[in-house]
Structure 1
Amino acid sequence: MTTNEPRPGQDQHGRPSSGQGQLPQQANPTWLGHVEPVYYQQAPANNSGRFQPALPPAAPTVTGGRGSAGGSGLVPAGFFLAFMSLFLVLPFLLERTGIAGFVVGFIASLIPLGTVLLTVLFIDRWEPEPRPLLLFAFVWGAAVSIAVTMLLQPYFSLVAGPVSGLDYATFAVTVQAPVVEEFAKSLGLLSLLLFAPRHFDGPVDGVVFAFTIAAGFAFTENILYFGRAIAESSDPGTDLAVVFFLRGVMSPFAHAIFTGTTGLIMGFAARRGNDGLVVLAFVVGVVPSMVLHSGWNSMGQDFLGQYLLVQVPIFLLAVLVIAWLRVAERRFTRQRLREYAAAGWFTVAEVDMLATTGGRRNALRWAKSVGRGAQMKALLRAATRLAFTRQRILSGRDVPTYQLEEQHRLAEIAALRAAVVG
C-alpha cells in the first residue's frame, strides 16, 4: 500500500534526497520518457504479495491547482464560445454559399473531416484523450477559431498590409491568412495546455489536439469553398468536383500538418510543466505553422510540381514523426510497467501483454472469447494511464498529487485485473 508520506530517502515533495536518484538500467528507454536522476524513485511496493487494491477503486480527487481537475470548466466555456461564434460564422457562410450550397458543402466536407478524425483516433489509440476535450478541440476549430479569424483579419490587414509592400490579394493569401488563422487555431491549444494540463503532457497529446482543432477549422472552411463552387458557378458539378479533389483528396491533412507543428512544440514544453515555458512554446511554435501555411498558399502556376516536390515530402515527414512518437510512447509505457512489475504489481508476462501491440491484441482476443472483452479493454487503458502517471511523478511534476493518483490507479488495476481473471 502506498501513502502520501515521504518514503526513506525522499524529501517532503516525494523527490529523492541528496545521494539518491541512481537510475536503474533502461530507466530512460526513449527521449519521450526521459527522467532526470534527481527525480527517480522506486515504484511503491505491493507489500501484501498479492494483487490487492491499495484503496477503493474510485476516481482520484485531485486538488493540485488550476487545470488539475482535467479542465472541467474548459469544456462548457468552449461550448459557450462556440455557440456565440455561430452567430457570426453561420450568416457569413450562408451569405456566400446560399442554402443549397451550404447543404452540399456541409455533406461534402464530412468526407475529408472523417479522414482526419480517423487518423486522430489512430494516433490517440495508445493513451486516448478524454472525449469532452477532443470535442472542445473540434468546436474550437470549427467555430471559435473561424470567428477569431474573421474578427482579427480586418485589423491585421490595416496594420500589416501597407508595411508588407504587397498587393492586397497576395498579402491576404500569403501573409494574412496564414498568420491570423494559425494564431486563432493555436489559441485553442494554449487553452488546453493551460487549463487541462493533466491531459496535455507530451508531444503526442499536442499532435492529437492540434489535428482535431485543424480538422474542425478545415471542415468549416471546406463548407465555404465547396458551397461557393455550387453557388457561384455556371457549371457547379464540375467546379465542385475540382475543388473537392484539390481540398478533399490532395490536401485533407494540410491544416492538420500546419497546426500539428505547433502542437508538437507545445507538447514538448508541456513535459516541463512550466506555464512560462508553455507560453513561450506557443509563441515559438506558431511560427513554423504560419510558414508552412504560407508556403502552401504561395504555390502558383507550378502547383503540381511544388506539390510533389515539397508538400508530399512534408506529409511523409509528418507520418514518420507520428510513427516515431508512437513507438517512443509504447517503449516508455513498457518500461514504467516493468518498474511496477519489479514492485510486485504485475508479472513479466503481464507487462508484455499490457504494453505491446501484439500482447494487447492477443489479450483482447482471449478476453472476448470468454465474455470479458470490456473488462480487458478497461484494464489495458488503466495500465497505460498508470504508466503515464508514474512518468509525471518521475518528471518531478506536482509529485504528491500524482502519488495520490497513483494509489487510485493501482487500486483500479487490482480491481480490473480481478474482473478479467474472474
Structure 2
Amino acid sequence: MIILLSAAIAPGLALFSYFYLRNQMATEPRKTLLQTFLYGAFLTFPILFLQYVLTEEGVFQYLYLQDVIFSSVVEEFFKWFVLLIAIYNHVEFDDPYDGILYGASVSLGFATVENILYLFSFGLDTAFMRALLPVSSHALFGVVMGYYYGRAKFSKLAKTNEMIAMALCAPVVLHILYNTILSFKGYWVYLMIPFMLFLWWFGLRKVKLAHYHLVQHLHMHKKI
C-alpha cells in the first residue's frame, strides 16, 4: 500500500517541484500553494461523482460526448472556477509567475488523487504510463491556465476578461485534443507522442513567458 501511494504521489510532487524551482525571482508562500493543491484534490470527488451519475443515467447518447467533451470541459471548468474564486484576488497572487504555480498546483491536486484511485484499482503496472501521460498533461493544462490568469491580473496591455476566458478555453481545447487521441483505439500512441511533445513545448513556452513578465513586473516596481 505504501509503495502504491508513493508511486501515485511522486509524479505530481516531482512536476510541481520542477515548476516551483523555475521561479528564481521570488518565493511563493508554501501554505497558499498547499491550500491550492488541496482545493484541486477535493475537486476530484464531486467531478467523479458527477461523471458517474451522468454515465449511469445515460445522459449522453454518444461516448465521445461523455468521455471526451464532457470530461474535458467539466474538469477544466472546476479548476478554473476554484482559481477564479479562491486565488485570483488573493493577496499572495502578487506577480505573473504565481499564476503558473497556482495553476499547476490545483491541477496536480486533482491529478494526484485521480492517480491514487487509479493505481489502487489497476495496480502498480500502470504507474509509469500514468506519470507520463495523465499526471504530466494535467500539470501542463494547469500551467497554461495559470499563465493566462497571470496575464489577466498583471498585464496592462491584455484585456482582463479575455485573458480570464482564455484561462478556461485554452486548457479545455488541449484537454479535448488529449482525450480525443486516447479515444483512437489501437493507434493512439502514434498521435500521443507528437501531441505530448507539443504540449510540453507549449507549456514550457508559457513558463518562459511568465518568467519574462515577472522580471518586467519586478523591474517596474523597483522604478516605482
Q: TM-score range by the shorter chain?
A: 0.7 to 0.9
Does structure 2 conserve the Cα–Cα contact (< 8 Å) formed by 1:120 and 1:212? no
1:118-175, CA deviations, whole angstroms, 9 ceiling, x for partnerless residues? 12321333222222210111101112x113313543576699944xx513xx333202
Corresponding residue of 1:206: 99
In the superposition, relative to structure 1, how do residues 332 and 277 fare at CA in structure 2: closer, same or farther (>3 Å)? closer
Whole-Å Cα distance in 2 between the matches of residues 305 and 316 of structure 1? 18
The one-letter amino acid paired with 2:192 is Y
The one-letter amino acid paired with 2:107 is A
Pick from 318, 322, 347: which aligns with 2:203?
318
The one-letter amino acid paired with 1:215 is L
The one-letter amino acid paired with 2:204 is V
Corresponding residue of 1:253: 136
Pick from 180, 188, 192: which aligns with 2:86?
192
The one-letter amino acid paired with 2:147 is L
Is the counterpart of residue 287 in structure 1 residue 152 in structure 2?
Answer: no
In the superposition, relative to structure 1, how do residues 314 and 175 fare at CA in structure 2: closer, same or farther (>3 Å)? same
Whole-Å Cα distance in 1 between the matches of residues 73 and 115 of structure 2? 19
In the superposition, relative to structure 1, how do residues 161 and 259 fare at CA in structure 2: closer, same or farther (>3 Å)? farther
| TM-score (normalised: structure 1) | 0.46
How do 1:343-358 residues align onto structure 2 when only pairs under 5 Å count?
Answer: none
Is the counterpart of residue 166 in structure 1 residue 44 in structure 2?
Answer: no
Corresponding residue of 1:135: 34
RMSD: 2.9
Whole-Å Cα distance in 1 between the matches of residues 216 and 168 of structure 2? 29
In the superposition, relative to structure 1, how do residues 192 and 310 fare at CA in structure 2: closer, same or farther (>3 Å)? same
Whole-Å Cα distance in 2 between the matches of residues 318 and 307 of structure 1? 16
Identical pairs, percent: 21
CA shift, 1:218, in A, is 1.0
Corresponding residue of 1:176: 70
| TM-score (normalised: structure 2) | 0.82
Does structure 2 conserve the Cα–Cα contact (< 8 Å) formed by 1:183 and 1:286? yes
Does structure 2 conserve the Cα–Cα contact (< 8 Å) formed by 1:105 and 1:224? no
Whole-Å Cα distance in 2 between the matches of residues 156 and 288 of structure 1? 25
CA shift, 1:212, in A, is 0.7
CA shift, 1:112, in A, is 0.1
SS in 2 for 1:200: coil
Report the number of matched residues: 219
CA shift, 1:255, in A, is 0.3
Whole-Å Cα distance in 1 between the matches of residues 179 and 86 of structure 2? 28
Whole-Å Cα distance in 2 between the matches of residues 160 and 272 of structure 1? 44
1:390-418, CA deviations, whole angstroms, 9 ceiling, x for partnerless residues? 4xxxxxxxxxxxxxxxxxxxxxxxxxxxx
The farther-off stretch of 301-310 and 129-138 is 301-310
Pick from 206, 221, 225: which aligns with 2:118?
225
How do 1:254-269 residues align onto structure 2 when only pairs under 5 Å count?
Answer: 254-269=137-152
Q: Which has the higher helix share?
A: 2
Q: Which stretches in structure 1 are left out of the alignment for 5+ residues?
A: 1-99, 231-239, 340-389, 391-422
In the superposition, relative to structure 1, how do residues 253 and 203 fare at CA in structure 2: closer, same or farther (>3 Å)? farther
Corresponding residue of 1:146: 44
Does structure 1 conserve the Cα–Cα contact (< 8 Å) formed by 2:95 and 2:214? no
1:275-306, CA deviations, whole angstroms, 9 ceiling, x for partnerless residues? x945x644442122122112112222322221
How do 1:377-396 residues align onto structure 2 when only pairs under 5 Å count?
Answer: 390=224
Whole-Å Cα distance in 2 between the matches of residues 206 and 124 of structure 1? 11
In the superposition, relative to structure 1, how do residues 263 and 125 fare at CA in structure 2: closer, same or farther (>3 Å)? same
Pick from 178, 197, 202: which aligns with 1:296?
178
